A and B are shown apart, each in its own frame.
Chain A
């Protein structure tokens, strides 16, 4: 699929345009922030309730599942690879969570987390050890986990029975113990915590830094003595965890275990990471900025309902805004950077 790390920069021998590179380098970062602010302003002008407390709470809630998935896939994109199995892992997690509540209660969250670790680890092994291209490896595990979701749910959309609602009511909590949360929903905190953990892991640990290095130049990373396979397997494992947490968020939020709930999220999560400045060819991007891409997509989808974009036009407007946002984020300064 599109990600041989073909950095002409490394081979062309020419250095970048020097001078105030720091500002120009980070300019694209501010652009995606600016485009969110701009859209928010336009939507608020058209309907002030867009920034009302209720809708801000909606925005933050809607962001969380997409955020955990996008942060997960961002690590895989840093490698220059891709993960298409997130949707099915999330669906499987939603089904399993709904089922295990009856027998494992609060422990179900931990069990499903472990399932995410296993599913991601399997992707990592298939890709890193068997050297199967990540597109095919994750496309295949996607269909495997989709079948698992159907089998586990017996082909039924599962309902979270009222007896188990006790395990999920924390979603609507307005405060954690004494600390009032105000407009911030608990789900968003989960998304934030996961993003920060992934960001710190990627930027502060050896394996995390190896992900970025091997995405930029796998040959050099290998000769420098970095653990290539380990970084790949951990990246895919984290992506699996992100997908499982997203699945749990869907189950808790919708109070249901739908075996196809995550189906649509593969491409949106990758688009969000790309809008957050993560290069699809690897080696470039910051996990902390993925929230900008996710925020932009969520603002667009939420905003279209708030300003009542005609049903027929929603998909068209969504596509146009994604194109505009990517255009502003793309790095057209470096002529030699080959974009696949």
Chain B
């Protein structure tokens, strides 16, 4: 036995190796925050108008929809699943919420009830997707892809090609309101973030999501009802999409299917760039907040720099692949799909 009480020098080397590997993992886990700070610093110098009070408010405002979407998606990706239903479902919820409040088309005026019903619709569709995925044993990729197409169809059907304009005072104040300098819609998004954080850290549901994502065998042995958890995860994702749809409708004051367009892939990118791998088990909602900030700031920064429209997409692609490449494990035996 050597002085540390290890059975041989080899065992001590092993212990040191473990400590080193832990340190590396911790640095890699912090990479997204580093990238975020780097982007903010770089853009503050290079892009004039970036670090102004108004632009920060703009960024926070534009953050609301990708952040809410990424909250639901984080839990889905933690289970190594996917939810593509956002495009159609977000459009559907956005369309019907405007039709139900005071608007230019229908004579309904259900006020706050409209928001509840619309978000509940998102929740229900999420549950349906979860049930089909779990009991139909069908890949979540295809189920949610088909669900998106179905809900997009119902969205356009709801206003039959003539979108309604909102005349609901509360929505107008919400879309322009500020509280402590932060736009009200962003407060709603932060509320969803807070709920997601509590769900992840404080509830048994959150624990079981990590357990299933990390090691489904142990979760099964401990007698957890895996199917129920999976359906709840898709339900929560549906609810988040519902909220995002309502926020989208409030922001543009109109109810049309375009509210959901191009919202899913930026949200998935935010979750992955934030540090939740697509194979699940690691990461969480805090990581996704950082990811959502990165994605929003890249988009905002490129416009402030007046970058030519043609190459904006390319620059976004390069930044995202660099961010992920920095925080990826490269051991020989590491399997990346």
A141 partner residues in chain B, CB cutoff 8 A: 317, 321
Q: How far is the CB of A221 from chain B (nearest CB, A)?
A: 10
Q: Are B141 and A270 in contact (CB under 8 A)?
A: yes
Nearest B residue (CB) for A339: B137
B217 partner residues in chain A, CB cutoff 8 A: 8, 11
A49 partner residues in chain B, CB cutoff 8 A: none
With A133-B328, A140-B318, A323-B146 known as contacts, the answer to whether A339 contacts B337 (CB < 8 A) is no
Q: Are A136 and B321 in contact (CB under 8 A)?
A: yes
Q: Is B139 part of the binding interface, using a Cβ–Cβ cutoff of 8 Å?
A: yes
Q: How far is the CB of B7 from chain A (nearest CB, A)?
A: 29
Chain B residues at the A interface, C-beta cutoff of 8 Å:
79-82, 84, 88, 132-133, 136-143, 145-150, 152-154, 156-157, 160, 216-217, 265, 268-269, 272-273, 277-280, 309-314, 316-318, 320-321, 324-325, 328-330, 333-337
The CA of A314 and the CA of B310, in the complex, are separated in Å by: 33
B325 partner residues in chain A, CB cutoff 8 A: 130, 132
Q: Are B137 and A332 in contact (CB under 8 A)?
A: yes
Residue in A140, A147, A338 whose beta carbon sits within 8 Å of that of B310 in the complex: A147
Query: For window 272-296 of chain A, which residues contact chain B by CB distance below 8 Å?
Result: 274, 279-282
A319 partner residues in chain B, CB cutoff 8 A: 88, 146-150, 153
B133 partner residues in chain A, CB cutoff 8 A: 339
In the complex, which of the residues A140, A218, A322, A339 has the most CB atoms of chain B within 10 Å of its own CB atom? Answer: A140
Q: Are B147 and A340 in contact (CB under 8 A)?
A: no
Q: Give 7 pairs: A residue, B residue, CB < 8 Å, sorted on A.
A: A133-B328, A134-B336, A271-B146, A280-B141, A281-B139, A316-B153, A327-B138
With A326-B143, A340-B140 known as contacts, the answer to whether A2 contacts B335 (CB < 8 A) is no
B150 partner residues in chain A, CB cutoff 8 A: 315-316, 319-320
Query: For window 147-165 of chain A, which residues contact chain B by CB distance below 8 Å?
Result: 147-148, 150-151, 155
User: How many residues on the A side are at the interface (Cβ–Cβ under 8 A)?
Assistant: 64
Q: Are A4 and B146 in contact (CB under 8 A)?
A: no
Q: Mark A108-151, 1 if CB is under 8 A from B, else 0.
A: 00000000000000000011001111111101111110111011
Residue in A126, A219, A315, A322 whose beta carbon sits within 8 Å of that of B152 in the complex: A315
The CA of A146 and the CA of B335, in the complex, are separated in Å by: 29
Q: Are B139 and A267 in contact (CB under 8 A)?
A: no
The CA of A126 and the CA of B269, in the complex, are separated in Å by: 17
Q: Which 6 A-B pairs have the closest CB atoms?
A: A315-B153, A319-B150, A316-B153, A143-B317, A147-B314, A319-B149
The CA of A79 and the CA of B337, in the complex, are separated in Å by: 7
Q: Is A1 part of the binding interface, using a Cβ–Cβ cutoff of 8 Å?
A: yes
Chain A residues at the B interface, C-beta cutoff of 8 Å:
1-6, 8, 11, 79-81, 126-127, 130-137, 139-144, 146-148, 150-151, 155, 218-219, 222, 267, 270-271, 274, 279-282, 312-320, 322-323, 326-327, 330-332, 337-340
Q: Are A4 and B141 in contact (CB under 8 A)?
A: no
Q: Are B314 and A144 in contact (CB under 8 A)?
A: yes
Extra 19 A-B pairs, beta carbons < 8 Å, given A136-B324, A271-B146 = A4-B337, A130-B325, A130-B328, A131-B328, A136-B273, A137-B321, A139-B320, A147-B313, A150-B310, A151-B311, A219-B335, A280-B142, A281-B139, A312-B156, A318-B146, A319-B146, A319-B153, A326-B139, A327-B138
B313 partner residues in chain A, CB cutoff 8 A: 143-144, 146-147
Q: Are B142 and A274 in contact (CB under 8 A)?
A: yes
Q: Are A133 and B318 in contact (CB under 8 A)?
A: no
Q: How far is the CB of A102 from chain B (nearest CB, A)?
A: 22
B146 partner residues in chain A, CB cutoff 8 A: 271, 318-320, 322-323, 326
B329 partner residues in chain A, CB cutoff 8 A: 131
Q: Are A267 and B145 in contact (CB under 8 A)?
A: yes
Q: How far is the CB of B171 from chain A (nearest CB, A)?
A: 26
Q: Are A133 and B317 in contact (CB under 8 A)?
A: no
B81 partner residues in chain A, CB cutoff 8 A: 2, 340
With A142-B317, A322-B146 known as contacts, the answer to whether A330 contacts B138 (CB < 8 A) is yes
A3 partner residues in chain B, CB cutoff 8 A: 278, 337
Q: How far is the CB of A184 from chain B (nearest CB, A)?
A: 30
Q: Are B141 and A2 in contact (CB under 8 A)?
A: yes
Q: How far is the CB of B279 from chain A (nearest CB, A)?
A: 4
Q: How far is the CB of B22 from chain A (nearest CB, A)?
A: 20
A326 partner residues in chain B, CB cutoff 8 A: 136, 138-139, 142-143, 146
With A1-B278, A319-B153, A340-B140 known as contacts, the answer to whether A140 contacts B82 (CB < 8 A) is no
B337 partner residues in chain A, CB cutoff 8 A: 3-5, 79-81, 133-134, 282
Q: How far is the CB of A304 from chain B (nearest CB, A)?
A: 12
Nearest B residue (CB) for A141: B317
The CA of A8 and the CA of B216, in the complex, are separated in Å by: 10
Residue in A312, A315, A332, A337 whose beta carbon sits within 8 Å of that of B149 in the complex: A315
The CA of A26 and the CA of B314, in the complex, are separated in Å by: 44
The CA of A144 and the CA of B321, in the complex, are separated in Å by: 11
With A1-B82, A130-B325 known as contacts, the answer to whether A323 contacts B336 (CB < 8 A) is no
The CA of A68 and the CA of B161, in the complex, are separated in Å by: 35
Q: Are B321 and A140 in contact (CB under 8 A)?
A: yes
Q: Are A144 and B318 in contact (CB under 8 A)?
A: yes
A330 partner residues in chain B, CB cutoff 8 A: 136-138
Q: How far is the CB of A316 from chain B (nearest CB, A)?
A: 4
Q: Are A340 and B152 in contact (CB under 8 A)?
A: no
The CA of A134 and the CA of B325, in the complex, are separated in Å by: 11
The CA of A135 and the CA of B320, in the complex, are separated in Å by: 11
B314 partner residues in chain A, CB cutoff 8 A: 143-144, 146-148
Q: Are B278 and A133 in contact (CB under 8 A)?
A: yes
B311 partner residues in chain A, CB cutoff 8 A: 147, 150-151
A314 partner residues in chain B, CB cutoff 8 A: 153
Nearest B residue (CB) for A333: B137
